[in-house]
Amino acid sequence: MLRTRFEWAVLIVTAALLSGAWIVMSRDATAESRPITLAEAPSVGHVAPGFTLANSAGQSVALNDYVNAGEGVGQPVVLNFWATWCAPCRIEMPHLQNASRKYDGRAAIVGVNQGESAEIVSDFGSEFDISYPLLVDADSSVSRLYNVTGLPTTVFIDGGGVVREVVVGMVSQAVLEDRIERMLE
């Protein structure tokens, strides 16, 4: 019986070693050395994908209106993905509005509505007295670009266009202000 256990142990160790060797040998070496592409963003520490969307009044707004990728002289952006049907989004809207007023000119709050019409976005903005830009992503192309899988999602982008943090779920007033203050330092 001892010999059988020993043989089984040798077999298991051999299988583990062979499996590990297979994993190491089958890795794609080019994957480690290839540059990060914008399609993989928004990854913390990487440049946020640029985009241009219309606001609810039909005016074009671009991420580059706020950040200066590579130059580091733009203003931080809090990019919030939301929808009118999303209850947590509605709950955090006053926090975003307060931050927009508090940091006006020093940091930008930008809402990106996912999949709804300009009319719905405009009506919502008026009803809740939202003064920061509410952009219309009717076909959800920017949401896909940012790999948004849940609402709300908030992306903190520094003045140089680099993603500093991605938060899926509601953001409190305290957390929002803390993250903005960090980007302003």
Specify the CATH number for the domain of residue 68: 3.40.30.10
Range of the domain at 22: 2-33
Give yes or no: residues 11 and 102 share one domain: no
Give yes or no: residues 13 and 89 share one domain: no
What pLDDT, on the 0 to 100 scale, is given for residue 22?
A: 66
Give yes or no: residues 51 and 27 share one domain: no
Give yes or no: residues 116 and 91 share one domain: yes
Burial level of 153, CB count in 10 A (0-12/13-18/19+)?
buried
Length of the chain: 185
What residues have CB less than 8 Å from 8, skipping those under 6 apart?
none
Give yes or no: residues 12 and 70 share one domain: no
Give yes or no: residues 78 and 135 share one domain: yes
Give yes or no: residues 19 and 68 share one domain: no
Give yes or no: residues 68 and 11 share one domain: no
What pLDDT, on the 0 to 100 scale, is given for residue 88?
A: 96
Give yes or no: residues 48 and 129 share one domain: yes
pLDDT 10s digit of each residue in the chain, 185 long?
556 788 877 878 787 777 766 666 665 444 444 444 444 457 899 999 999 999 989 999 999 999 975 555 789 999 999 999 999 999 999 999 999 999 999 999 999 999 999 999 999 999 999 999 999 999 999 999 999 999 999 999 999 999 999 999 999 999 999 999 999 99
**Total domain count, the chain:** 2
CA angle, corner 103, sides to 121 and 167, nearest 5?
A: 60
Question: Quick one: which of 153, 159, 166, 161 has its CA closest to 183?
Answer: 159
Give yes or no: residues 126 and 152 share one domain: yes
Phi/psi of residue 127, each to 5°? Answer: -60, -40
Task: Give all strands of the β-sheet with 153-157 in edge-to-edge order.
Answer: 60-62, 52-55, 134-137, 108-114, 77-82, 153-157, 163-168
What pLDDT, on the 0 to 100 scale, is given for residue 134?
A: 97
CA distances (Å), origin 88, targets 63, 77, 147, 149, 156: 24, 20, 19, 14, 18
What's the predicted TM-score (pTM) here? 0.77
